[in-house]
């Protein structure tokens, strides 16, 4: 019998030669990686521009990037910055079963906003919600005003009619969305 060598490696683990190393300049690779990283960051900014533009901190960055690239930045959205100046709900004089609703509000946000969605809730004597409606901007003002953003400090008055619920109404609440 023949004795086997104690330290023999399997054939699949043998190295055939030493690997060659690239000895060229590294700066082109560093520049390429840097450019690709910058391109990735730019793509992320453009892709998430609506979410980032909602932040007061990121909005100037997004606005400058979009100004350079020709993309749109969505309007500022801060419903809590709308201030109700006056509101009224009363029976319409010309028609029975119809309520005349009027309201005045102002944009106190630092930037122009889209026209708000108005939420109107009517309650009965027990404080229970009897009826509610959400009015889109097209439901309460003209087409010309809808195209322009609601400027900072601008006030608006709206008036519209709604059907009166069967349950007697004693209170109402406006909210902005």
- How is the chain split into domains, by residue range? 29-74, 79-176
pLDDT per position as a tens digit, 7-26: 777 767 766 666 667 677 88
pLDDT per position as a tens digit, 143-172: 645 578 899 999 999 999 899 898 888 999
Domain 79-176 has CATH 3.30.70: no
For residue 70, is it left (φ>0), alpha (ψ between -120 and 50) or beta?
left
pTM of the model: 0.68
Cα dihedral sign, 45-49-55-59: positive
* Orientation angle between helical segments 27-47 and 59-69, nearest 10 degrees: 110
Partners of 83 in the β-ladder: 106
pLDDT for 95 = 79
């Amino acid at each position: 019998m023949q004795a086997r060598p104690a330290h023999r490696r399997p054939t699949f683990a043998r190295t055939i030669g030493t690997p060659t190393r690239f000895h060229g300049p590294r700066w082109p690779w560093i520049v390429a990686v840097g450019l690709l990283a910058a391109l990735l960051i730019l793509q992320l900014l453009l892709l998430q521009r609506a979410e980032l533009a909602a932040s007061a901190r990121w909005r100037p960055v997004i606005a400058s990037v979009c100004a350079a690239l020709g993309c749109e930045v969505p309007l500022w959205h801060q419903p809590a910055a709308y201030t109700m100046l006056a509101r009224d709900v009363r029976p319409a004089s010309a028609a029975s079963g119809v309520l005349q609703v009027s309201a005045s509000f102002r944009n106190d946000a630092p930037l122009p906003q889209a026209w708000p969605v108005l939420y109107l809730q009517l309650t009965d004597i027990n404080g229970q919600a009897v009826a509610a409606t959400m009015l889109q901007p097209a439901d309460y003002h003209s087409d010309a005003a809808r195209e322009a953003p609601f400027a900072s400090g601008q006030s608006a008055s709206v008036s519209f009619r709604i059907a009166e619920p069967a349950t007697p109404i004693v209170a109402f609440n406006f909210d902005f969305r």
